[in-house]
Structure 1
Amino acid sequence: MSKTIFITGTSSGFGKLTAVTLANAGHSVIAGMRNTKDKNTAAAKELTAIDNIEVVDIDITDDQSVSNAVEKMLNKYAKIDVLINNVAVSGFGLLEGYSIDQVRRMFDVNVYSVLRMYQAVLPSMRKEKNGLIINITTGASAHTLPFMIPYIASKLVVESFTEGLQDELKDYGIENVSIQPGVYPTEMNNGSKAGIHADKTKIIEEYGEAASEKFNALGTALFGKMAEFEMNPQTIADGILELVSMKKGDRPLRFPLDAIAQGTDKEFIEARAAIKAKWLAAYSN
């Protein structure tokens, strides 16, 4: 059955691939992106030319822009069946090297935008007593790596949203799933899309070469694994289509798609769920 699906961050990467994949599968896709009349004009035109895709201009860091875009689409389509919170920005560097303002910028894109989108679509989903919200987090959302602390922290918050809202929204028939991708060759990772990096140069200089060498070694290892496992971003788009196509009630809370992890991510998810069940049992007695 065709669904109306709103995706954020569709100018490139996972978002763009997902919009095309879902539209080709017969779904009505609302492709959200900012600057449709400026730097993203080409991307907007490319997606608009595809059957079943409507591009909407939305700045996910602006409350009014989010509210206006969602209201406009609800007026046209009457409902939004699926929301995919895809938009995000990466960032690297020493935690001490980040200014508070820089971390705040990171969280505005990766955390508060997700909350804005939830609050914009939930009233209509609750009215329909139906909905699916898919959040793109990270393959490292079960733990934290050095030199990526603000970024991973932001994704851990989204994991928390997903898990907590699964219970809060259960009575309204709204399901929540987090997709946990590993390292993929998208614009976020190849340097063509600006990230939000550590900006306190004096602090960074004080750490010296040792920190730089550790950071470079981590990056080399991650990108080496990406090449070794031939990570294809289409895997994420196909995974999202699989989730959308699943029967309601069969969808998992977490959906890892990280070949590099070689199954360890799934093991961690299962162990985490088992421990949580024990914790809940202990507190309910």
Structure 2
Amino acid sequence: MAPTTSTPTPVALITGASSGIGLAAALALLEKGWAVYGGARRLDRMQAIIDGGGTALELDVTDDASMTAALERIVAERGRIDVLVNNAGYGSYGALEDVPIDEARRQFEVNLFGLARLTQLVLPTMRALGRGRIVNISSIGARIYEPLGSWYHATKFAVEGLSDSLRIELAPHGIDVVIVQPGPIRTEWNTLSRESLLERSGQGAYAEQASRLHATYTRVDEGPLSASPEAVARTIVAAVTANRPRTRYAVPFSAKAVVGLRRMLPDRVMDAILSRMA
């Protein structure tokens, strides 16, 4: 899908583009000559996209009117949408017993239902083109599991189930669905997830687990196993420009290793390994 002199400039919409992976992906595609629309709730945090020649959209994936307005503007200005990168999401941690159901619902609204609704809105345009690519940013958390992370992992397991079904469903229409599975990436996501862990379960029955898990996350995020958002952005560029993309991309190498390990190990062995984290 790289632009050429004989085809229109390809158009990408990236959600969660105000920081981290979303911002890095937007800038990477702009460097490739794409028309990029970055969406996030805070316009003031997307100046780099504007400076790079892209467009910043106020976009809330929990607000149907906001999503509809964004899609209508892109189609009005460009007449097409070639790629949707569903990157918006967050990790809210804590023992299932401690996390209020309203917070659990919100995490599903952002991580799953917002992704699904925006996909619904973009599909008529892609089908009219007879081509398109949807990149859903999942996580290695969709392949493994962790104590005190049940709600977050549930959302990512759901994203992958939706994506796999959708890939087959949309193939007759020329639309690819690709999953990107980041591992530990150095973004503000890590800080927010660790803070929620202590906020929800830092006291009470799960406090000891929460303290150990917080320390483990800090070591991993700051250590050699983690990678920059730009590493994921390069993977996203590869996924949207490949003639025949893979169905899944894990990044960085540590994420590939974890996914491979999960395939080989029985549940009880995996339980024992993950229990040592907390």
Q: Which amino acid aligns with 1:225?
A: V
Give 1:46's aligned residue: 48
Distance in 1, matches of 2:220 and 2:77, equals 44
Give 2:146's aligned residue: 145
State the Cα distance separating 1:169 from its structure 2 match. 0.5
Preserved CA contact (<8 Å) 1:89 1:196: no
Q: 1:252 aligns with which of 238, 242, 246?
A: 246
State the Cα distance separating 1:195 from its structure 2 match. 7.2
In structure 2, the CA distance between the partners of 1:79 and 1:62, relative to structure 1 (3 Å rule), is same
Preserved CA contact (<8 Å) 1:97 1:198: no
Give 1:166's aligned residue: 167
Distance in 1, matches of 2:163 and 2:139, equals 13
Q: Which amino acid aligns with 1:45?
A: Q
Distance in 2, matches of 1:269 and 1:130, equals 32
Distance in 1, matches of 2:254 and 2:212, equals 17
Q: Which amino acid aligns with 1:222?
A: Y
TM-score, normalisation: structure 2 = 0.85
In the TM superposition, structure 1's runs of 4+ consecutive aligned residues that sit over 3 Å from their partners are 193-201, 266-271
Percent identity at matched positions? 28
- How large is the RMSD of aligned CA atoms in angstroms? 2.3
In structure 2, the CA distance between the partners of 1:148 and 1:205, relative to structure 1 (3 Å rule), is same
Q: 2:32 aligns with which of 17, 25, 40?
A: 25
Distance in 2, matches of 1:194 and 1:108, equals 20
Preserved CA contact (<8 Å) 2:139 2:180: yes
In structure 2, the CA distance between the partners of 1:194 and 1:124, relative to structure 1 (3 Å rule), is farther
Counterpart mapping for 1:245-284 below 5 A:
245-247=241-243, 250-261=244-255, 263-266=257-260, 268=262
Distance in 2, matches of 1:251 and 1:127, equals 21
TM-score, normalisation: structure 1 = 0.83
Give 2:158's aligned residue: 157
The runs of 5 or more residues in structure 2 that have no matched partner are: 4-9, 266-278
The runs of 5 or more residues in structure 1 that have no matched partner are: 272-285
Q: Counterpart of 1:154 in 2: which secondary structure?
A: helix
CA displacement 1:250-284 (0-9 Å, x = unmatched): 2111111132246241465699xxxxxxxxxxxxx
In structure 2, the CA distance between the partners of 1:261 and 1:73, relative to structure 1 (3 Å rule), is closer
Paired residue total: 257
